[in-house]
């Protein structure tokens, strides 16, 4: 999902569908929040409920500016002594620094745990391989199990294939990668980006900081916003966007010849005015790129949408694996 989109081999896509893959994930950073007030502090800062986050659950969450625009997005869960946040590595440092500014008198401390842990994604027929590491596997989406080798989280399926995320002590994880290679196909990190895109799960990166309220990237649909919890930065804006009427901008799945995160979109009927923004990008199986794009819903009704300019590469829209609330 970075500005430079690497290529993927046909064997990488094929292995997801017909076998299983494991993917060392280098595109993420990890923030640990420790202290007796860790959950209470994060509860006042993030879009989702942290206070009632139990040991067997992971949740999506966002961190907003006072204007309700996302500064970052996370997958979060509890460890034995911390609330752990998985975030795009290119914004980990500034988000951690900003959050730390608001700790004040709370008994909470944020630290960069990226060097201490490693993350590996799994997709496809991977249960047998994972059973050699974990005694039990999570079945429900965002269910988490813990074991001696770290945490295993079930994340949303992509291309109708199950996916899991393993985060554990770096030395332990890296020591097991060779044996995993005997059972599963090893794929580049960009394949996980492609799978996230086809799961319809956007990720905030440096190119899109402060561009979207959570609903624009479907976070309300994906369970990343709790509208019943207390205040957090931007909460009034987010709530107003939800309740004042129909949401007019959403994130859609599309394919193009080329695109980069943060690039503007233009509709053929109004070529002088941007109608959206590219959120995430990964190499496509058929050439070009697949992407998640934030866009005015009206722009999806008819006409053509182009990347970068009115005569830029055209977008071909694909179905998301979920429906928006108005479509349910």
Domain boundaries, the chain: 10-198, 211-327
Over the stretch 261-289, which tens digit does the pLDDT of each residue have?
A: 999 999 999 999 999 999 999 999 999 99
Q: What is the pTM of this model?
A: 0.96
- Answer left, alpha or beta for residue 222, where phi above 0 means left and psi between -120 and 50 means alpha: alpha
**Topology annotation, domain 211-327:** Elongation Factor Tu (Ef-tu); domain 3 (2.40.30)
Predicted confidence (pLDDT) at residue 4 exceeds the cutoff of 80? no
- Reported as a single tens digit per residue, the pLDDT across 71-85 is 999 999 999 999 999
Residue among 2, 15, 328, 14 nearest 183 (CA): 15
Pick the CATH number of 10-198 from 3.40.190.10, 3.40.50.970, 3.30.1360.120, 1.20.58.190: 3.30.1360.120
Contact 30, 216 (CB under 8 A): no
203: nearest Cα among 187, 218, 191: 218
**E-only strand ranges, 79-220:** 83-88, 109-112, 117-124, 144-147, 150-158, 161-169, 185-186
């Amino acid at each position: 999902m970075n500005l430079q989109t690497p290529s993927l081999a046909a064997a990488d896509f094929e292995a997801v569908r017909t076998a299983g893959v494991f993917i060392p994930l280098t595109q993420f950073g990890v923030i640990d929040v420790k202290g007796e007030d860790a959950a209470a502090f994060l509860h006042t800062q993030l879009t989702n409920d942290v206070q009632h986050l139990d040991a067997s659950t992971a949740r999506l969450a966002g961190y907003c500016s006072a204007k309700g625009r996302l500064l970052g997005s996370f997958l979060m869960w509890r460890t034995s002594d911390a609330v752990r946040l998985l975030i795009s590595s290119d914004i980990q440092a500034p988000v951690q620094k900003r959050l730390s500014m608001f700790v004040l008198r709370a008994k909470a401390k944020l630290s960069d745990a990226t060097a201490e842990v490693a993350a590996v994604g799994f997709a496809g027929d991977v249960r047998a391989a994972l059973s050699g590491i974990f005694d039990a596997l999570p079945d429900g989406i965002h269910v988490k199990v813990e074991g001696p080798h770290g945490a295993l989280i079930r994340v949303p399926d992509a291309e109708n294939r199950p996916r899991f995320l393993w985060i554990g002590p770096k030395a332990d994880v890296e020591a097991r990668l060779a044996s995993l290679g005997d059972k599963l196909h090893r794929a580049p990190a960009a394949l996980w980006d492609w799978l996230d895109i086809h799961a319809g799960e956007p990720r905030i990166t440096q190119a899109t900081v402060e561009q979207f309220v959570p609903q624009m990237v479907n976070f309300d649909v994906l369970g990343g916003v709790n509208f019943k919890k207390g205040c957090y930065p931007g909460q009034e804006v987010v709530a107003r966007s939800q309740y004042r009427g129909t949401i007019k901008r959403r994130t859609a799945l599309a394919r193009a010849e080329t695109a980069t995160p943060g690039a503007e979109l233009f509709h053929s009927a109004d070529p002088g005015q941007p109608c959206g923004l590219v959120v995430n990008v990964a190499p496509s199986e058929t050439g070009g790129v697949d992407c998640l794009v934030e866009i005015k819903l009206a722009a999806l009704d008819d006409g053509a949408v182009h990347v970068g300019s009115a005569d830029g590469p055209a977008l071909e829209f694909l179905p998301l694996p979920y429906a928006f609330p108005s479509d349910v």
